[in-house]
């Protein structure tokens, strides 16, 4: 049995999203992955969505130039790499959903470090989506 609420939680919410991509090799461990246990690769088209409840004094969610630059910087640490050889990911299945969280968390670090500008401290959340093909994608959303 499911409890149903009459109306969803009322919210007013702004967001902006910027898109970039990253090209990596990796392999997975576990029978569930079938042929993807072999070393293979993927292009991930990455959408980083920044949310906030009210716009800042410039009437924006966040400086889209800085958002684009910082997403690119986060992806640069992964781009053109074999993730199986990245020490930080040793023993980890770098699934699309895991990478969505990894990228969202690194973006959150940068927001907190001020890299997206002072106004970015008013952001309420980040959602990162990774498109691995035209028929499959994953996402992770978190608070800030």
- Using CB under 8 A, which residues numbered 92 to 111 contact a copy of itself? 92-98, 100-101
Query: Residue 143: exposed, middle, or buried by beta-carbon count in 10 A (0-12, 13-18, 19+)?
Result: exposed
Closest residue by Cα to residue 61 from 25, 6, 13: 13
Scan residues 31-70 and list those touching a copy of itself (CB under 8 A): 32-36, 38-45, 51, 53, 55, 58-61, 63-65, 68
Pairing label, strands 136-143, 125-133: antiparallel
To a copy of itself, the closest distance from the beta carbon of 101 in angstroms equals 7
**Stretch 71-90 residues interacting with a copy of itself (CB under 8 A):** 79-82
Q: Does 115 bind a copy of itself (CB under 8 A)?
A: no
Choose, by CB under 8 A, the member of 20, 69, 86, 115 that binds a copy of itself.
Answer: 20
Distance of CA 56 to the CA centre of its chain: 23
């Amino acid at each position: 049995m499911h409890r149903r609420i009459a109306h969803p939680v009322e919210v007013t919410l702004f967001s902006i999203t910027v898109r970039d991509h990253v090209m990596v090799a990796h392999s997975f461990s576990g029978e569930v992955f079938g042929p993807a246990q072999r070393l293979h690769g993927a292009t991930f088209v990455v959408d980083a969505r920044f949310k906030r409840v009210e716009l800042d004094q410039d009437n924006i969610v966040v400086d889209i130039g800085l958002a684009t630059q910082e997403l690119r910087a986060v992806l640069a640490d992964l781009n053109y790499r074999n993730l199986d050889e990245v020490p930080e990911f040793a023993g980890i299945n770098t699934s699309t959903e895991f990478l969505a969280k990894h990228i969202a968390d690194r973006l959150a670090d940068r927001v907190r470090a001020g890299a997206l500008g002072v106004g970015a401290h008013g952001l309420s959340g980040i959602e990162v989506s990774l498109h691995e093909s035209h028929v499959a994608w994953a996402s992770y959303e978190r608070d800030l």
